[in-house]
Copies of this chain bind each other. A is one copy, B any other.
Amino acid sequence: MEARIEKIKQQLQSHGFKLTPQREATVRVLLENEEDHLSAEDVFMLVKDKAPEIGLATVYRTLELLSDLHVVEKMNFGDGVARYDLRNDSTRHHHHHLICVQCGALDEIMEDWLTDLELRLENEYRFQVLDHRLDFQGICHRCRDKNNS
C-alpha cells in the first residue's frame, strides 16, 4: 500500500504536481476501496473521515488530475455520475464488467478477453488500440438461483 502511494507520488512529481495531504487522502480512499467504483461524492464522503476540511471541488480536481495521469480511470455506467477506478498499472485496463439488470450487482472479470479482437482491429481497420471497455448487461448467477427457487 505504501509502495503504491509512493509510486503515485512519483507519477505526480514527474509531471510537476505535488502529493498534497488532500491528494494523498483521496488516493488512500481509492486504494482502500479498489473493488468499489466510487463516485466523486462517495470519495468525498470517505475522504472527509481522513481530512474533514477537504472540499468537494478538491476531490473533483484530484480525480480529474489522476485521470489525466492515467492513475485512475473515469467511467460511466449510465446512472448520471462518473465513477473512478484505480488502474493496476499505468498503462492498460484489463477487466470487464458484468452488470446485473435485476439486482444491480456489478461483478468483474479480471482476464483480458480482447487480445484477439485488438489484433483484428489493427489488421482490418488499421485502428491502434490504446484502451478498451467491455460491459455486459444481464442476469447474474445469484439472481438466476433466486428466480428458480
Chain A residues close to B by CB (< 8 Å):
74-78, 80, 82, 98, 101, 107, 109, 113, 117-118, 120-121, 125-141, 144
Contacts and interface: CB of A to CB of B under 8 A. Distances in A.
Contact of A130 (B74, B134, B139, B141): B139
Nearest to A131: B137
Contact of A127 (B76, B113, B128, B139): B139
Given A74-B78, A144-B126, A133 B135 contact: yes
Nearest to A77: B76
B125 A109 contact: yes
Nearest to A145: B126
B137 A132 contact: yes
Given A98-B127, A126-B144, A141-B126, A135 B136 contact: no
A113 to B, nearest CB: 5
Given A76-B78, A78-B76, A117-B113, A129 B125 contact: no
A101 B127 CA distance: 11
A98 B78 contact: no
A127 B83 CA distance: 23
B125 A141 contact: yes
